[in-house]
Amino acid sequence: MYTFIHAQGPDGRWPARVNRLEKIVQLAEGEYFPLDSEVLAIPPDVTKSAVVRLRLTVADGRPVCTLIAFEQPVPNSGPKGPYIEAEIVGEVAVASLIDEAVVWLCTTAKFKTLAHQAALSAPVDEIGRVIIPTDESGRFDFWPPEAAQSAGQKALGLRRQRSVDDVLLRRVARIYQETEWAPTEAVKDQIPTSKRNATRYVALARERGFLPPYERTSKSTEEES
């Protein structure tokens, strides 16, 4: 598991957007995400693995990653981490790492949003301090364990929804045309996706001109030819 922190800007300062509530959007009921964030994923052992920089935002109502870069760890004390080689990059499960970053950003955005909402209705003491209620363990009432555990789950579902664009449909068309037997099944296996989605992608590829129109050939027509 990686540890995530917000990335500092080139001037060494934290981006102003990190704590700006207006930059947080609601993806679904009880699910929040920052519009633009750049984070660093710190590996468990910086002497053996690279630090990964990710930039994430919201597009078409779902969290997306727009940048991923690998950096040599340079700790404040101790030796530097490894140089960036193909082997180091290949050890990183990118899809899982993006999922982890999405959950972390959702959790921080949800906490900030709920804390703000709780503060608006919280009592104020005699010197003007906002008193947000807590339970016996000292945990904020607005942040029960289930709130933290559920953060990011809806966002992950949204992130994994495939964007059906021309890039995808061209790939579908290529797979379909290169497969002699059961081409739709090949699309399903190689994308990968469900049989229902594969059929839909093939139809969309035809509509956009990446595949020729479908022609059904009857047995009698084949015999006559």
pLDDT of residue 157: 84
Q: Is the pLDDT of residue 18 over 70?
A: no
**Percentage of the chain exceeding pLDDT 90:** 53
Please indicate, yes or no, whether residues 141 and 174 belong to a single structural domain of this protein: no
Q: Which tokens hold the place of 49?
A: 């693995």
Assess whether 73 and 103 both reside in one domain.
yes
Distance between CA atoms of residues 2 and 84, nearest Å: 18
| Residue 158 lies inside a defined structural domain of this protein | no
Residues 107 and 183 occupy one common structural domain: no
pLDDT bin (cut points 50, 70, 90) of residue 216 is: low
Do 182 and 77 reside in the same domain of the chain? Answer: no
Do 18 and 113 belong to one domain? yes
Q: What is the mean pLDDT of the chain?
A: 86
Q: What is the mean pLDDT of residues 146-171?
A: 85
Give the residue, 210 or 148, on which the prediction is more confident: 210
**Of 34, 35, 21, which Cα lies nearest the Cα of 114?**
21
Q: What total of structural domains would you count in the chain?
A: 2
Residues 33 and 142 both lie in one domain: yes
User: For residues 22 and 94, what is the distance between their CA atoms, to the nearest angstrom?
Assistant: 29
The 3-state DSSP class for residue 193 equals: coil
Instruction: Give the pLDDT confidence score for residue 222 in this predicted structure.
Output: 39
The verdict on residue 216 lying in a domain is: no
Burial pattern 12-29, b for ≥16 Cβ within 10 A else e, equals eeeeeebeeeebbeebee
pLDDT at residue 5 is higher than 90: yes
In whole angstroms, what is the distance from residue 54 CA to residue 65 CA?
Answer: 7
Residues 68, 36 share a domain: yes
Q: Which amino acid is at 90?
A: G
Q: Is 32 exposed, middle or buried (0-12, 13-18, 19+ CB in 10 A)?
A: buried
Domain hosting residue 202, numbered range = 166-207
Average of per-residue pLDDT across 74-96: 91
pLDDT of residue 225: 36
Q: Do 36 and 105 fall into the same domain?
A: yes
* 175 and 142 within one domain: no
> 221 lies in a domain?
no
pLDDT digit string, tens, across residues 95-110? 899 999 999 999 999 9
Query: 161 or 99: whose pLDDT is higher?
Result: 99
- Band the pLDDT of 219: cuts 50, 70, 90: very low
Mean per-residue pLDDT for 81-104? 94
CB atoms within 10 A of CB 102: 24
Q: Answer yes or no: is 192 within a domain.
A: yes
Whether residue 222 is contained in a domain is answered as no
Q: Do residues 178 and 129 share a domain?
A: no
Asked if the model's pLDDT at residue 14 lies above 70, the reply is no
In a domain, 224, yes or no: no
What Å distances lie between residue 49 and 32, 46, 90, CA to CA?
30, 5, 11
Residue 49 falls inside a structural domain: yes
More confident residue, 11 or 223: 11
- The answer to whether residues 79 and 124 belong to one domain is yes
Residues 6 or more apart whose CB falls under 8 angstroms from that of 124 comprise 130, 131
**Whether residue 144 is found in the same domain as residue 170:** no
Q: What phi, psi does 106 have (nearest 5°)?
A: -65, -40
Q: How much is the average pLDDT of 172-198?
A: 89
**Per-residue model confidence (pLDDT) at position 193:** 76
Residue 225 in any domain: the answer is no
- pLDDT number for residue 89: 95
Q: Are 169 and 73 contacting, i.e. CB atoms less than 8 angstroms apart? A: no
